[in-house]
Amino acid sequence: MIYRLNDKEVNIIIGKDVLNNIDLNNDRKYFIIYQNNVWDKIKIITSKIKNFDIYNVPDGEMAKDVYVALNIIKDMVKKEFTRKDAIISFGGGTVSDLSGFLASVYMRGIDLINIPTTLLSMVDASIGGKNGVNFQGIKNVIGTFYQPSMIINDTSFLYSLPYNEILNGLGEVIKYSIIMDKNLYNFLINNKEKILKLDDENVSYIINKSVDDKMKIVLSDEKETNGLRSVLNFGHTIGHAIESGSKLKIKHGFAISYGMICETKLGVDLNLIDDKIFEMVEKIIKFYEINIDKNDIDLSIALNSLRNDKKRFGNKITIPLPVDIGNYKIFPIEIEKIEKAMIECLS
Ligand SMILES: NC(=O)c1ccc[n+]([C@@H]2O[C@H](COP(=O)([O-])OP(=O)(O)OC[C@H]3O[C@@H](n4cnc5c(N)ncnc54)[C@H](O)[C@@H]3O)[C@@H](O)[C@H]2O)c1
């Protein structure tokens, strides 16, 4: 699938072993940024290119420290990378966030190819052009919007992914299904076993649908200027607070899944949406057993995070809610009401 944004084309390729069949331009050098857990797969890339350097980043959120980014720039300068060369991101969302930032600033921008290896990154982090690095413990406080030219979603990489990481990615897939894709919702309900067994056809289908759903929104609001992209934040207001309140012990996809339950319940209590919708949201998340342990959450940290939400405008935060499965509306809601809903939902 090729998506045309203002000044760029993004080519997204999805399927089992698709990386094997892709030719990479050998007239330039590649700087491959990877994390340890995918080291055994790196040959699939390096066997295709003549000229490359590789850079190993720490696992998890540590990869996104701004000092890691600066060290990589130092290394790229030393190895004489120029604007006609390219960065390849090989790993989960932490690697694509870091690589996207680097590609956007190195010599004012060089080409970027994302090869995500987690489900979360395939369906969310590596697409859409948002990136970010962390500074002084503040997540994504430095970042840009910068589109990769190519995203290669090779589903065979998911076989080695821990089961929890699959559920983590499914949280975002479920989000797209509830808020904007009823067919995907029904597919998830009807094909759980095959999806969880990573059956290629089924997994490729849900990745395709998620990528297309997200890209439709990105095409309408690439840089978050007209508010349309905010629909992607369903479940994320309370979800982020849960993630922070657990000091990142609860993974993003799990936190936003519970966030979707809490925010939908809030919508019902405020008479904004029907109780039937809440039941369907709760049903699919419980069906996939995407559970959190509430004991992992420090409520005061979660409340503090909610009050400092960067989407807050005055006393309100705009929250997208499903008015039907596959259909949403955006509602500005007072912070006190969200706080109260979160306390009730987490107790
Ligand atoms: N830019 C965006 O739009 C966006 C959207 C969502 C999330 N994010 C960011 O993404 C990050 C989270 O991404 P993530 O969940 O992919 O985390 P991650 O990159 O930390 O990967 C999760 C774990 O899986 C391991 N792993 C990766 N691929 C593997 C494989 N094929 N087999 C075995 N293990 C493998 C990693 O080493 C890591 O331990 C966060 O920093 C978040 O802020 C960004």
The pLDDT tens digits for 58-101 are 999 999 999 999 999 999 999 999 999 999 999 999 999 999 99
Same domain, 151 and 190: no
Same-domain check for residues 334 and 293: yes
Confidence (pLDDT) at 224: 86
Q: What's phi and psi for 189, nearest 5 deg?
A: -70, -40
Q: What's the structural domain count of the chain? A: 2
Q: Where are the alpha helices (DSSP H) in the chain?
A: 43-46, 66-78, 93-105, 119-120, 163-180, 182-190, 192-196, 200-220, 236-245, 252-269, 275-287, 299-307, 335-346
Q: Are 180 and 113 in the same domain?
A: no
Contact assessment for residue 83 and residue 103, using Cβ atoms and an 8 Å cutoff: no
How far are the Cα atoms of 28, 111, 227 from residue 86, in angstroms, in the given order? 7, 5, 32
Digit-coded pLDDT (tens) for 299-343: 999 999 999 888 888 999 999 999 999 999 999 999 999 999 999
pLDDT at 227: 83
**Do 122 and 261 reside in the same domain of the chain?**
no
- CATH number at 200 reads 1.20.1090.10
Residues 121 and 184 in one domain: no
Are 45 and 109 in the same domain?
Answer: yes
Percentage of the chain modeled with pLDDT above 70: 100
| Mean pLDDT of the 118-138 span | 95
Q: Are 119 and 256 contained in the same domain? A: no
Q: Same domain, yes or no, for 126 and 202? A: no
How many angstroms separate the CA atoms of 125 and 192, rounded?
A: 23
Q: H or E element: which one contains 151? A: strand 150-154
Q: pLDDT for 166-175, tens place per residue?
A: 999 999 999 9
Q: Closest ligand 1 atom to the C-alpha of 130? A: 1
Domain assignment of residue 25, given as a range: 2-160
Residue ending a domain, among 95, 125, 160, is 160
Which among 160, 183, 212 is the end of a domain? 160
Q: Whose CA is nearest to atom 19 of ligand 1?
A: 92
pLDDT > 90? residue 25? yes
- Cα four-point dihedral sign 228, 155, 51, 79: positive
Q: Is residue 224 in contact with ligand 1, taking CB distance under 6 Å? A: no
User: Do residue 197 and residue 296 come from a single domain?
Assistant: yes
Pair 176, 322 in one domain: yes
Asked whether the beta carbons of 11 and 149 are under 8 A apart, the reply is: yes
b/e 90-126 (16+ beta carbons within 10 angstroms → b):
bbbbbbbbbbbbbbbbbeeebbbbbbbbbbbbbbbbb
Percent of the chain with pLDDT over 90: 92
Boundary (domain end) residue, out of 135, 160, 185? 160
Mutate to test the pocket of ligand 1, among 45, 66, 97 (most ligand atoms within 8 A of CB): 97
In the prediction, which pLDDT does 97 show? 98
289 given a catalytic annotation: no
Q: How far is CA 38 from CA 20, 103, 335, in A?
A: 16, 21, 42
Q: pLDDT for 198-245, tens place per residue?
A: 999 999 999 999 999 999 999 998 988 888 899 999 999 999 999 999
**How far is CA 242 from each of CA 198, 231, 246, 247, 296, rounded to the nearest angstrom?**
28, 19, 6, 9, 9
User: From atom 44 of ligand 1, which residue's Cα is the shortest distance away?
Assistant: 125
Q: What is the CATH number of the domain that holds 92?
A: 3.40.50.1970
Q: What is the pTM of this model?
A: 0.96
Q: Are residues 57 and 71 in the same domain?
A: yes
The answer to whether residues 14 and 155 belong to one domain is: yes
| Residue in 114, 168, 202, 233 annotated catalytic | 233
pLDDT digits 0-9 by tens, 26-35:
999 999 999 9
